[in-house]
Structure 1
Amino acid sequence: MDTNNVEKMETQNQHSQSHEQSPTKGTTFLRTCFNGVNTLSGVGILSVPYALSKGGWLSLLLLLLVALVCFYTGLLLRRCMNSDPLIRTYPDIGQVAFGRKGRAIISTFMYLELFLVAVEFLIMEGDNLHKLFPKECFNVFGMKIGGKQAFVLGTALVVLPTTWLRNLGVLAYVSASGVIASVILVLAVFWGGAFDGIGFDERGEILNWSGLPTTISLFTFCYCGHAVFPTLCNSMKDKSQFSKVLLVCFVLSTITYGMMAILGYLMFGEHIQSQVTLNLPTKNISSNIAIYTTLMNPITKYALVISPIATSVEETFPFRESKMMSCLIRTCLVISTVFVALLIPFFGYVMAFIGAFLSITVSILFPCLCYWKIAIGFKKFTMEMSVILMILFIGTFVAVVGTYNALTNIINEVHTK
């Protein structure tokens, strides 16, 4: 039997229940736009001023370029889905293109990205809580723990019970506030600069070549929603409008990221930290609004990020229905994220690593390769194929350089601690 047919049959078995749903059901265009913007509006908004400071003012053009390329690769995923009605998720695309190995590789990168995003949540909480309460310390099993480490542990204890819930409907609803939180954050930062005495007096650099790998890595992290795009598309009533959804999402997200980058760089210049909230003076009301808004999102989204990883692990065990085993697996996942967050508590560098190694791969390289294999074929040569080849070449180069740069910075920070 042909290998492709076997793979399609396996995919059909995996998703047969999804196709039994009524075609009249699904989300509207507006709601899908909201969900898409919420997907792209993550913790990356805190670091875009830092990314701009690394590359200089001209690197704003890179933000537009990265947005354009990621928008295009999002369209490529949509075209891959058009090739087979059985495709429901990103790993399905990998399976149709490259078989079981394709599914396994894409799934691995997706889960690793989710894991490190959860780590970033804990680092961010530790940094911002320590800024608000720099003198606080806690007693844990008779030991006094203070500083950022204490807040990382405290945050983990708060979010741990939420990870035990298999039905995350309530948390998903709460996490939808992410779009509003991003708007509030930008407005609060603007208010701090315009009316709370910080000002917009920093000039900054025009261009810094040495910082461009970090800049591109951080910008790419901001647009790493491709793992969710197939799910969003299949959730729509009218899937033919998904290309317009992508356009709306990328335009709105780019405007938000651009505004935050410009505001933060004008306010703090070369002194900007990896999270713009760490530069804000806590004596101002606007600063506290920005910081507390920042703190809420990870708490509500941590369980949502961990859940797909936990579910994947649970499905490998014969006793997958055991609630006790599920809680144990999820607790171990939380402990592992805490360990990594305490080991490498460098928000900006970890985000740069995620962007360079994982986001560029998942959001740029894989969509191009899958589309090339499924829709074009390796024996044909077209103008679009030349564009895809250029994206693959530049994307691979940036991924290698950015990953090396991020790992070098992380290792140097670990040695200097």
Structure 2
Amino acid sequence: GIAFFMYVELYLVAISFLVLEGDNLDKLFPGAATDLLGYRLQGKQLFIALAAAVVLPTTWLKNLGVLAYVSAVGLVASAVLTASLVWAGVAETGFHRNNTSVLNLCGLPTSLGLFFVCFTGHAVFPTIYSSMKNNKHFSKVLLISSVLCSVNYGLTAVLGYMIYGDDVQSQVTLNLPSGKLYTKVAILMTLINPLAKYALLTAPITAAIEEKLSLPAGGGTARVAISTVVVVTTAVVASTVPFFGYLMSFIGSFLSVMATVIFPCLCFLKIYKAEGIRRIEIAAIIGILMIGVFVAVTGTYTSLQQIIGTF
């Protein structure tokens, strides 16, 4: 059951990556269109199809060690994107917006969902652990990557709000003025990031399907076929989902909270119940569970309401 939640979460994050690609390429090249097999592809849908075609070969790779270098490019891209926001603030409006609310309680469920979705890489951890040359360093790698991600996410969020205030969009790159060099750099970095991480995200899904169908792990033809189906289906769904922020909020509120907050607490209680759990630990777990349930219920309801309202 827990594995199912994790795989669905990874699948939806893969979809959101393609939505991100489509939105930003459409901003970079507005009005693009072409005919493909009798269908008219234009704007966002065209670029989602192109992004899917680019990431497809990376999903066929057997060796995750190669993907490590690709993902490292994504890390550099994230840092450059944050630097581009600093550049935008210096060059344009500055870092202070008047008439902006510091705290908007109505947006709290969505914000908490988005916060949790920032750390949805947990389902990839076993794959990374097993592919490391020296997996004794896994804990250290996990700590360093979590700290780096937290700092970068925090900087991006604060910069976006300081520059654009309440007008900040679900993708801050969509706020940046068209034609500026820093906008092109920021969008380029935003495009590189999902492309670099897509294959790493879908690798556990492909492996799980291979195992379910009792196919040999890493078998060439089977792996190519399964990963191709995964990429094509994510592209089709991404083409019909016009709401990046709401989708990410739903993933964070429902799937991420279930997989990273509620299930671990329940598993801990089940595993260590026989040995005896200290009262302070029980109190802490109950507190974490209450926060998790609050985010899951309010965030899921709010995000689904927003998604339905867009149709």
- Residue number among 257, 260, 263 corresponding to 2:153 in the alignment: 257
Contact map agreement 1:192 1:284 (CA 8 A) in 2: no
Residue identity in the other structure for 1:214: T
Are the structure 2 counterparts of residues 138 and 171 from structure 1 closer, same or farther at C-alpha, using a change threshold of 3 Å? farther
Contact map agreement 2:124 2:204 (CA 8 A) in 1: no
Q: Mapping of 1:294-373 within 5 angstroms?
A: 294-320=190-216, 323-373=220-270
Are the structure 2 counterparts of residues 178 and 365 from structure 1 closer, same or farther at C-alpha, using a change threshold of 3 Å? same
Alignment partner of 1:382 is 2:303: no
Shift of 1:285: 1.2
> 1:391 matched to which residue of 2?
288
Give the number of the structure whose alpha-carbon radius of gyration is greater: 1
Shift of 1:380: 4.6
> 1:169 matched to which residue of 2?
65
Residue identity in the other structure for 1:117: V
TM-score (norm 1): 0.68
Unaligned 5+ runs, structure 2: none
CA distance in 2, matches of 1:251, 1:319: 38
Alignment partner of 1:400 is 2:297: yes
CA distance in 2, matches of 1:138, 1:357: 37
Residue identity in the other structure for 1:201: H
CA distance in 1, matches of 2:141, 2:227: 34
CA distance in 2, matches of 1:381, 1:168: 41
Shift of 1:379: 6.5
Contact map agreement 1:225 1:363 (CA 8 A) in 2: no
> 2:37 matched to which residue of 1?
141
CA distance in 2, matches of 1:318, 1:325: 11
Q: Mapping of 1:218-237 within 5 angstroms?
A: 218-229=114-125
- CA deviations on 1:101-151 (whole Å, 9 max, x unpaired) are xxxx12111111110111011100000000000111111113332111111
CA distance in 2, matches of 1:324, 1:249: 34
Sequence identity percentage = 47
* Pairs aligned (count): 307
Alignment partner of 1:200 is 2:95: yes
Contact map agreement 1:372 1:378 (CA 8 A) in 2: no
**382-391 vs 321-330, which deviates more?**
321-330
Contact map agreement 2:95 2:163 (CA 8 A) in 1: yes
Find the residue that maps to 2:41 and give its secondary structure: strand
Find the residue that maps to 1:227 and give its secondary structure: helix
Q: Mapping of 1:272-283 within 5 angstroms?
A: 272-283=168-179
CA distance in 2, matches of 1:237, 1:247: 14
Contact map agreement 1:310 1:329 (CA 8 A) in 2: yes
Contact map agreement 2:10 2:123 (CA 8 A) in 1: no
- CA deviations on 1:13-54 (whole Å, 9 max, x unpaired) are xxxxxxxxxxxxxxxxxxxxxxxxxxxxxxxxxxxxxxxxxx
CA distance in 1, matches of 2:215, 2:135: 36
Find the residue that maps to 1:201 and give its secondary structure: coil
CA distance in 1, matches of 2:223, 2:79: 36
Contact map agreement 1:119 1:338 (CA 8 A) in 2: yes
Are the structure 2 counterparts of residues 227 and 302 from structure 1 closer, same or farther at C-alpha, using a change threshold of 3 Å? closer
Residue identity in the other structure for 1:344: V
CA distance in 1, matches of 2:135, 2:24: 40
Shift of 1:246: 5.3
Find the residue that maps to 2:103 and give its secondary structure: coil
Contact map agreement 2:9 2:251 (CA 8 A) in 1: yes
- Residue number among 299, 306, 309 corresponding to 1:409 in the alignment: 306
Shift of 1:250: 4.0
CA distance in 2, matches of 1:374, 1:318: 30
CA distance in 2, matches of 1:328, 1:238: 34
Shift of 1:247: 5.1
> 1:184 matched to which residue of 2?
80
- Residue number among 155, 165, 181 corresponding to 1:285 in the alignment: 181
Shift of 1:232: 6.3
Are the structure 2 counterparts of residues 286 and 394 from structure 1 closer, same or farther at C-alpha, using a change threshold of 3 Å? same
CA distance in 2, matches of 1:330, 1:393: 38
Find the residue that maps to 2:212 and give its secondary structure: coil
Q: Mapping of 1:70-85 within 5 angstroms?
A: none
> 1:55 matched to which residue of 2?
none
Residue identity in the other structure for 1:202: R
Are the structure 2 counterparts of residues 304 and 237 from structure 1 closer, same or farther at C-alpha, using a change threshold of 3 Å? closer
Are the structure 2 counterparts of residues 318 and 251 from structure 1 closer, same or farther at C-alpha, using a change threshold of 3 Å? closer
Q: Mapping of 1:17-166 within 5 angstroms?
A: 105-166=1-62
CA distance in 1, matches of 2:87, 2:275: 53
Residue identity in the other structure for 1:149: Q
CA distance in 2, matches of 1:218, 1:137: 32
CA distance in 1, matches of 2:62, 2:9: 21
CA distance in 2, matches of 1:259, 1:341: 28
Are the structure 2 counterparts of residues 304 and 238 from structure 1 closer, same or farther at C-alpha, using a change threshold of 3 Å? closer
